[in-house]
Amino acid sequence: MVVHVFKTPEELAQAAAMVFAAQIAKKPDTVLGLATGSTPVGTYRELARLNRLGLIDFSEVRTYNLDEYIGLEPTHDQSYRYFMNDNLFNHINIKMENTHVPCGTGADHWADARAYDEAVEAAGGIDLQLLGIGHNGHIGFNEPNDKFIYGTNIVKLTRSTIDANKIYFPTEDDMPKEAISFGIGGIMKAKAVILLALGKGKAQAIHDTVHGEIDPKCPASILKAHPNTIIMVDEAAGSML
Ligand code: PGA
C-alpha cells in the first residue's frame, strides 16, 4: 500500500486521472471498477477533460460500478446509474452497453448479486478498481462487520452511512436503507486499487486503514493485504497519518 498526500483536491484529481490514463493507454479494453459519491467527482471531471483533448480513449473500456441502492430505478436522480451517466459516462466516448451498475430493482436481489460477480469474472476481472471510503471505513457499501463479505451482497446501511448520504434525499425516509454492493473479495481480486479520500471527516478512517490491524470493523483495512493499492488523500484526510 502506498500513500500519497496532495495539497488540494484538484491536484489529487489530476494525479488519480493520470493513473487511469496510464492504465487505459497500456490496455485499451481495460475493465474499470468505478465508485460514486462526492470524492471521485473531480477525478471524473478530469477524465472527461482528458477525453475531450483526445488523451484518453474510452471506446473499448468496460466498467463495473461498486454499488446501487435497493429500490431506486436507474432513472431516479439519486440512483448510482444516474450519477455515473451524469458525472462521467455522458461526457466521454464510452459505449453505454460497456458500462455496468448493479441492479437494485430486480425481483431477486441475491440472484442479481451472483450474476454481477459472474459478469465481472466473464469480463476477465477488474484491472483498476477506484474506491472512496466511508467515515466508518466502508468500501463500496461493505459496512463494518464481524467478517469480510466475499461476494456481491445485499447490505443494510449503517447509521453512519445513512447520516452521510441522507442529505441527497428530500428526507431521511426517502433514502433507501439497503444497497447491493460488490464484495470485498471482488475488490481484492482487482489487479490494482486506487482509494481516494478528501476532507477531515475521512481522517480517522484513513488512519485506521493505513495504521490499524486488518479488521472487518474497518473494511478498507483489508487493502493492506492487496499487493497493488495506491491511497491518495488530501492534507485534511491525511491529517492523522
Ligand atoms: P463520499 O462517499 O465520496 O460521498 O464521501 C464515499 C463513500 O461512502 O464510499
**Single pTM value for the model:** 0.97
Residue type for 53, please? Answer: L
Given ligand 1 and candidates 133, 181, 233, which is best to mutate, with the most ligand atoms within 8 Å of its CB? 133
Q: Is 67 a catalytic residue?
A: yes
CB 190 within 8 A of CB 140: no
Those residues with Cβ within 8 angstroms of residue 122's Cβ, 6 or more apart along the chain or in another chain? none
Long-range contacts of 3-7 (CB under 8 A, 24+ apart): 3/210, 3/230, 3/231, 3/232, 3/233, 3/238, 3/241, 4/230, 4/231, 4/232, 4/233, 5/233, 5/234, 5/235, 5/238, 5/241, 6/232, 6/233, 6/234, 6/235, 7/234, 7/235
Q: Is 178 a catalytic residue?
A: no
Q: Which helix (H) or strand (E) holds 63?
A: strand 62-65
- Residue-wise pLDDT tens for the chain (241 aa)? 999 999 999 999 999 999 999 999 999 999 999 999 999 999 999 999 999 999 999 999 999 999 999 999 999 999 999 999 999 999 999 999 999 999 999 999 999 999 999 999 999 999 999 999 999 999 999 999 999 999 999 999 999 999 999 999 999 999 999 999 999 999 999 999 999 999 999 999 999 999 999 999 999 999 999 999 999 999 999 999 9
Task: Give the DSSP letter of residue 137.
Answer: -
User: Of 112, 117, 127, 143, which residue is the catalytic one?
Assistant: 143
Q: d(Cα 232, Cα 96) in Å, to the nearest integer?
A: 28
User: Of 100, 127, 138, 153, which residue is the catalytic one?
Assistant: 138
pLDDT of residue 90: 98
Task: Give the DSSP letter of residue 218.
Answer: B
Q: Which three cell numbers stand for residue 76?
A: 431516479
pLDDT of residue 43: 98
